[in-house]
């Protein structure tokens, strides 16, 4: 869930993994696409880092990032630019970037990888050693159902959404599910590290009699719209998608619901609060059920514990992050926020060993402290993040009257299962008894069976989504929606 922060430091520890399509305004040299890799020194150890750059539409570029030693493949990038003899790659969700200069033959770049307070030399060479990904659950045609690429616009024409609608064979009308992606820009398949969970879900549910619409986020893939969007804006986009489904002749307009993963579960809450009459059901896959500041503090602690950081240190780091987020949620003055973040950081510094403090923050002098504080403050002042940390699900959860299935992986370290499922279970107190809440043992945030159960393991696992979760969704929809249509 809030997969929008990160620090390189040891093991690029909080990279948030979402594959993003990149667009650049430049006309791109045909020499640039390919795999570029090099070795950076992180905490005294060599780490291979690679960028897979490919040509996209209209002469632009797209790219993904690999860190093979950590099992990370096809990590998200957000923009690629070639300006003269310079290459720029931006990874906004980790506040990171690469800048390098080509040699005359365009076979080598000399540059630096920047992330937060880290500024790491990294020279890239063209390589043919592409990383292959084993993703056995990804379906491929021919499909035993109809699949149609669709597009539609907002009434004011400012937002254009593109996606894929899959419908079962037959005349219908069919019940339908709108899939809503998690945090960060994501494509219609919610592609992450080569996994395509929304494609797998759509394929499975369509074969079981449910039409499914999956959509590129605005400014991702073929969708466009204003930038600086918040969860509230994405909720408006989801309402556009509901409108589209309800107007299709093969869809039963009274049997349209939402399946939201991570932030997608939050967006479903907002949509239902505004349009309860148009929501036939909600399935939450690791959607937030508690205040986001609480969720994020727990997430930071759990991530550090997964990297074998001692529990007292991890807990105190989470406490520091809570104080920083609480300040950002209320403080409107940037200079004042910088001061409050500095105070919180220095208060935490006094409780841990200097080496631990530096390894977790990258701070080792006044300059790196200013950089850390500035990066943290600007991240928290971003419109999406600032809306996100101020969100409390309780009010919108209380408005849900449709059938609900809320699932969470027991090994999820991004949206901790117990406190968030408790929030979804509270819906019953408001008179809605058709609420099923279940913790899925042994599953991570992506609902994969996991071993190490770390964020870095997502790309190492060949399973895209647990078959038990697919079956549970299919059975529940069969009972609640298909039988009652």
Answer yes or no: do 282 and 398 share one domain: yes
Give the total number of structural domains in the chain: 3
Q: Which residue has the higher pLDDT, 114 or 264?
A: 264
**Of 70, 92, 127, which residue sits at a domain end?**
127
pLDDT tens for each residue of 448-482:
999 999 887 888 899 999 999 999 999 999 999 98
For the beta carbon of residue 296, count every other beta carbon within 10 angstroms: 25
**pLDDT-derived band of residue 250, with 50, 70 and 90 as boundaries?**
very high
**Residue 413 in domain:** yes
Rounded to the nearest integer, the mean pLDDT of the chain is 88
**Residue 132 in domain:** no
Q: In angstroms, rounded to a whole number, what is the distance separating the alpha carbons of residues 259 and 411?
A: 21
Answer yes or no: do 324 and 238 share one domain: no
**pLDDT of 19 strictly over 50:** no
Q: What is the per-residue burial (b if ≥16 Cβ within 10 Å, else e) of 251-287? A: bbeebbbbbbbbbbbbbbbbbbbeeeebbbbbbbbbb
**pLDDT-derived band of residue 193, with 50, 70 and 90 as boundaries?**
confident
**pLDDT of 22 strictly over 50:** no
Q: Which residue has the higher pLDDT, 132 or 293?
A: 293
Mean pLDDT along residues 321-341: 96
Sequence-distant (6+) residues with CB within 8 A of 485 are 175, 252, 254, 255
CA dist 65 to 17, 94, 123, 194, 217, Å? 10, 12, 15, 11, 20
**Residue 335 in domain:** yes
Answer yes or no: do 156 and 93 share one domain: no
> 316 is written with which tokens?
């105190």
pLDDT tens for each residue of 378-420:
989 999 999 999 999 999 999 999 999 999 999 999 999 999 9
Mean pLDDT along residues 257-280: 98
For the beta carbon of residue 323, count every other beta carbon within 10 angstroms: 19
Answer yes or no: do 48 and 175 share one domain: no
Answer yes or no: do 37 and 93 share one domain: yes
> Do residues 221 and 39 make contact, with C-beta atoms less than 8 angstroms apart?
no
Answer yes or no: do 192 and 220 share one domain: yes
**CATH at 249:** 3.40.50.1820
Answer yes or no: do 442 and 411 share one domain: yes
**Of 368, 389, 410, which residue sits at a domain end?**
389
**CATH at 95:** 2.40.128
**pLDDT of 14 strictly over 50:** no
Find the range with the poorest average confidence among 189-198, 315-324, 434-443: 189-198
**Residue 19 in domain:** yes
Helix (H) / strand (E) containing 330: helix 311-330
- The boundaries of the domain holding residue 29 are 10-127
């Amino acid at each position: 869930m809030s997969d929008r922060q990160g620090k390189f430091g040891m093991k690029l520890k909080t990279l948030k993994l979402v594959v993003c399509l990149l667009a650049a305004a430049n006309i791109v040299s045909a020499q640039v696409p390919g795999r570029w890799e090099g070795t950076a020194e992180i905490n005294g150890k060599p780490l291979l880092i690679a960028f897979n750059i490919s040509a996209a539409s209209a002469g632009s570029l797209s790219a993904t990032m690999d860190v093979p030693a950590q099992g990370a493949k096809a990590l998200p990038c957000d923009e690629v630019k070639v300006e003269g003899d310079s290459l720029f790659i931006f990874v906004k969700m980790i506040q990171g970037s690469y800048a390098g200069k080509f040699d005359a033959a365009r076979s080598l770049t000399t540059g630096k990888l920047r992330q937060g307070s880290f500024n790491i030399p990294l020279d890239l060479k063209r390589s043919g050693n592409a990383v292959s990904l084993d993703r056995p659950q990804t379906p491929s045609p021919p499909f035993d159902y109809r699949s149609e690429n669709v597009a539609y616009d907002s009434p004011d024409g400012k937002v254009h959404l593109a996606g894929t609608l899959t419908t079962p064979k037959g005349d219908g009308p069919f019940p339908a599910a709108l899939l809503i992606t998690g945090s960060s820009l994501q494509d219609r398949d919610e592609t992450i590290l080569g996994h395509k969970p929304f494609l797998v879900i759509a394929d499975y549910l369509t074969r079981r009699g449910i039409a499914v619409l999956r959509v590129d986020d605005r400014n991702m893939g073929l969708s466009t719209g204003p930038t600086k969007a918040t969860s509230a804006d994405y909720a408006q986009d989801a309402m556009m998608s509901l409108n589209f489904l309800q107007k299709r002749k093969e869809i039963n307009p009274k049997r349209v619901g939402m399946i939201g993963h991570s932030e997608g579960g939050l967006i479903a809450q907002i949509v239902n609060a505004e349009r309860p009459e148009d929501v036939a059901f909600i399935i939450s896959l690791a959607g937030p059920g508690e205040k986001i500041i609480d969720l994020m503090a727990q997430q930071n602690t759990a991530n550090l514990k997964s990297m074998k950081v001692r529990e007292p240190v991890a807990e105190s780091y989470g406490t520091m992050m809570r104080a920083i987020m609480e300040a950002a949620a209320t403080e409107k003055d940037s200079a004042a926020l910088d001061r409050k973040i500095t105070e919180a950081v220095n208060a935490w510094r006094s409780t841990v060993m200097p080496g631990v403090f530096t390894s977790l923050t990258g701070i080792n002098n006044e300059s790196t402290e200013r950089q850390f504080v500035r990066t943290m403050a600007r991240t928290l002042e971003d419109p999406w993040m600032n809306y996100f940390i101020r969100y409390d699900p309780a009010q919108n959860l209380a408005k849900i009257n449709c059938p609900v299935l809320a699932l969470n992986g027991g090994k999820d370290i991004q949206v901790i299962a117990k406190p968030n499922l408790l929030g979804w279970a509270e819906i019953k107190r408001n008179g809605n008894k058709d609420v099923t809440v279940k913790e899925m043992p042994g599953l991570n945030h992506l609902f994969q069976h996991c071993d190490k159960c770390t964020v870095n393991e997502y790309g190492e696992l060949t399973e895209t989504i647990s078959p038990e979760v697919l079956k549970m969704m299919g059975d529940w929809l069969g009972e609640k929606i298909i039988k009652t249509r």
